Amino acid sequence: MTDYAVARQRMVAEQLVRRGIQDQRVLQAMGKVHRHLFVEEALWGRAYGDYPLPIGEKQTISQPFMVALMTEALELKDHERVLEVGTGSGYQTAILAELAGKVYSIERMRALAMRAIRRIESLGYYNVLIRVGDGSVGWKEMAPFDAILVTAGTPQVPIRLLEQLGEDGRLVVPVGQAENQVLRKGTKKGADIHWTELGNCVFVKLVGEQGWSD
Ligand code: SAM
């Protein structure tokens, strides 16, 4: 077994299972996807650590536990369609691609989106579509979605995203101040959204029409 495979198993056991992640499909996906390939080579040795890492353009790849917590909350079934807002490195995108039927992902920064597209293609994920744009308004042409994940912090829940959720659809989004947020999960039931809170978190800003102005 390679050093990275050992590091992945240790990450799953010590950072995810020990902190309460139970969904076996999520644990398997996190044990399978080569996280180090989503950061620059100089950071490969730290790729399985218990923290976010820089990915350029002042953005980050999220901490493994946060990726697992958000993914578990989405309750994805293997035929479902999911929208990710904030592609970043493409790591979370790959995890979603392991668990859902089709993944749509939007990244605001062209350089990051282009790198993520190359990585996702080279790893052979054919059920992913990534585009450059403002994901705070969603992806209307591809809606409705069974699940929507926002991987950047926003001052309020983007209304367009709620509109693009299908019946029983789940939205997971960090909401709050620029420096810290609460991870919120909304489930659509008819005209209502049932909200729960999953804990505190710290994300970079969602910059766009339905997020921060800058
Ligand atoms: N999930 C990513 C990963 O696994 O690497 C990490 C995402 S990073 C914490 C948040 C990303 O959201 C950044 O890449 C940032 O450029 C992007 N972002 C911020 N505002 C956005 C918007 N309105 N639309 C799309 N992407 C946005």
- Give the pLDDT of the chain (214 residues) as one tens digit per residue: 679 999 999 999 999 999 999 999 999 999 999 999 999 999 999 999 999 999 999 999 999 999 999 999 999 999 999 999 999 999 999 999 999 999 999 999 999 999 999 999 999 999 999 999 999 999 999 999 999 999 999 999 999 999 999 999 999 999 999 999 999 999 999 999 999 999 999 999 999 999 999 7
Tokens of 186: 């909304």
pTM: 0.98
- Of all protein residues, the one whose alpha carbon is nearest to atom 19 of ligand 1 is 206
Per-domain residue ranges of the chain: 4-201
Give me ligand 1 centre to Cα 107, in Å.
Answer: 6
How many other C-beta atoms can be found within 10 angstroms of the C-beta atom of residue 56? 14
Measured between its terminal Cα atoms, the distance across the chain in Å is 45
In the residue annotation, 136 being an active-site residue is answered as no
Closest ligand 1 atom to residue 86 Cα is 12
Q: Which CATH number is correct for 4-201, 3.40.50.720, 1.10.40.30, 3.30.750.24, 3.40.50.150?
A: 3.40.50.150
